[in-house]
Structure 1
Amino acid sequence: MKEGEKDTEFVTPGEVLGNFSDFKPGRGAYVTDNTVYASLSGFRRIIHPPSDSSDLRSTVEVTGHKAHGAVPAPGSIVIVRVTKVMTKMASADIMCVGPKSVKEKFTGIIRQQDVRATEIDKVDMHLSFRPGDIVKALVLSLGDARAYHLSTAKNELGVVSAESTAGAEMVPISWTEMQCPVTGQIQQRKVAKVGG
Structure 2
Amino acid sequence: NHGDPLTTRVCASQLPVVSVVRDAEAQLLPGVGAVVTCKVCSINSRFAKVNILYVGSTPLKSTFRGTIRKEDIRATEKDKVEVYKSFRPGDIVLAKVISLGDAQSNYLLSTAENELGVVVARSEAGVQMVPISWCEMQCPQTHTKDFRKVARVQPQFLQT
TM-score range (shorter-chain normalised) is 0.7 to 0.9
Q: CA RMSD in A?
A: 1.7
The whole-number CA distance in structure 2 between the counterparts of 1:124 and 1:148 is: 21
Structure 1 counterpart of 2:95, one-letter code: A
The equivalent residue for 1:117 is 75
Partner of 2:126: 167
Distance 1:69-1:179 versus aligned 2 partners, 3 A rule: farther
- Number of the residue aligned with 1:89: 47
Deviation of 1:100 after TM superposition, in Å, equals 0.6
| Percent identity of equivalent pairs | 51
Amino acid paired to 2:57:
P
Q: Alignment length, in residue pairs? A: 131
After superposition, the C-alpha distances for 1:165-186 in whole angstroms (9 at most, x for unaligned) are: 1010000000000000000000
C-alpha separation between the residues in 2 aligned to 1:67 and 1:191? 35
Equivalent-residue separation in structure 1 for 2:126 and 2:25 (angstroms): 33
Show the 5 A alignment for 1:51-62: none
Name stretches of at least 5 consecutive residues in structure 1 with no aligned partner.
1-65
TM-score by length of 2: 0.78
1:48 corresponds to = none
Flag the structure with larger Rg.
2
CA change 1:182–1:126 in 2 (3 A) is same
Match of 1:186 among 141, 145, 160: 145
The answer as to whether partners of 1:69 and 1:100 remain within 8 angstroms in 2 is: no
Q: 2: CA distance between counterparts of 1:169 and 1:159?
A: 12
Instruction: Please name the residue that 2:30 is paired with.
Output: 72
C-alpha offsets along residues 27-61 of structure 1, whole Å, 9 cap, x if unaligned?
xxxxxxxxxxxxxxxxxxxxxxxxxxxxxxxxxxx
CA distance in 2, matches of 1:180, 1:137: 23
Quote the residue 1:151 is aligned against.
110
> Once the 2 structures are TM-superposed, how far is the Cα of residue 67 of structure 1 from its aligned partner?
5.2
Superposition deviation, residue 104 in structure 1: 1.9
- Output the TM-score relative to the length of structure 1: 0.64
Report how far residue 162 of structure 1 moved. Answer: 0.3
One-letter amino acid matched to 2:47: M
Q: CA deviation at 1:142?
A: 1.5
Gaps of 5+ in 2: 1-23, 156-160
Distance 2:148 2:44 in 1: 15
Q: Which has the larger share of strand?
A: 1
The one-character-per-residue Cα deviations of 1:83-122 (angstroms, maximum 9, x if unpaired) are 0001010000000000111112300000011000000000
| Alignment match, 1:12 | none
Q: Could you say what secondary structure the match of 1:174 adopts?
A: coil
